[in-house]
Structure 1
Amino acid sequence: MAVSTPTPDDIAELLLSCRYGDTEDIQHFITRFGPAPLNDARDDNRNTVLHMVCANGHTDALDLLLPLVAPPLLAAQNAAQSTALHWAALNRHLAVAQRLVRHPGGPGIDLIDLKNGAGRSPLGEAENAGWEEGAKWFVEVMHLDEGAKEDELHPAEGPESIEVEIQDAEGQVAKMTIGQPTPDVMPPSSVTT
């Protein structure tokens, strides 16, 4: 049986079904047209089926779609350069965020580092939305200082001090040195009573 090609109206209906989490209609679309058109379906703002499902927290629809879409769709950016994970973070959908990041064969935790047009990562969106639970989970699973070289971890001041760089959600970087002795403070072993 040959699979037909969806019309623009069919695509619009699919995207609405994803927005509302209507798994029966999504399945009907897949049965009628196959899974391939899922990867190319976009609205006027370049939102994908994953943007629609994830923005609205529809885990059942996400579970239906994830095995059928190409892994690069998980990192697809809309017109504002936001991914489906940005939308899940903005709308505080932890189960959705976890499914996106943990999807086998997908980009994984690299999704957490992608920035949108506003310069925010999904972690930044979670922080911006005041979603502490999601921000905490993102920080727990992401690789911190993964690319740091050994000499960056042990600065020239000596082994008793550590230089730290922290980047906030807006991309601002703060540097500080921890453990560097100050000249006017005597070490505890030198203090006499």
Structure 2
Amino acid sequence: MIIYIILILVILQRLTEVFIAKRNEKWMLSQGAYEVGSSHYPYMVSLHAGFFLFLIIEVVTNHKSLSPLFPLLFILFIAVQALRIWCIRSLGSFWNTKILILPDAEVVRKGPYTFMRHPNYAVVCLEIILLPLMFQAYFTAFCFTLLNVTMLSVRIPIEEKALRDATNYNHIFQKKISES
């Protein structure tokens, strides 16, 4: 029963994020933004939808129970969700599920973005591992971790190139590297 409650809450969270992303997309496009990497976006959406589908199938068909480490994994999962919210709030109107580039915009350098370039992707990676492990869905954890790493190996270089070409991204992160 707990898996269904958690999954419903996570799916509701994702739907809320889609609403936020659509609202932010509309604003960014009105400011002159453009999308890059649109060819891989449907695959990313399919990956995330497939993740939830396979997780449910693996748990239900194999009668999986809570992991003995569930309390620890759940606390980590909640911490990851807090980091997700911090990412979204830090980027504000710039947060999106698509790669939208607003030429000459100042790159956001606050919140978790002061510590790493792509904290939201770290959140997704951790979630794809933690959520299945809470319910002993090891096949889903393994397969979708590999699929997600593959997706991010395509997505992150596209995003970084677009940010370098159209914003102060290179300057901000070069400066950040030289400060450390």
Q: TM-score, normalised by structure 2?
A: 0.27
* Larger Rg over CA atoms: 1
TM-score, with length taken from structure 1: 0.26
Relative contact order, higher structure (CA 8 A, sep 6+): 2
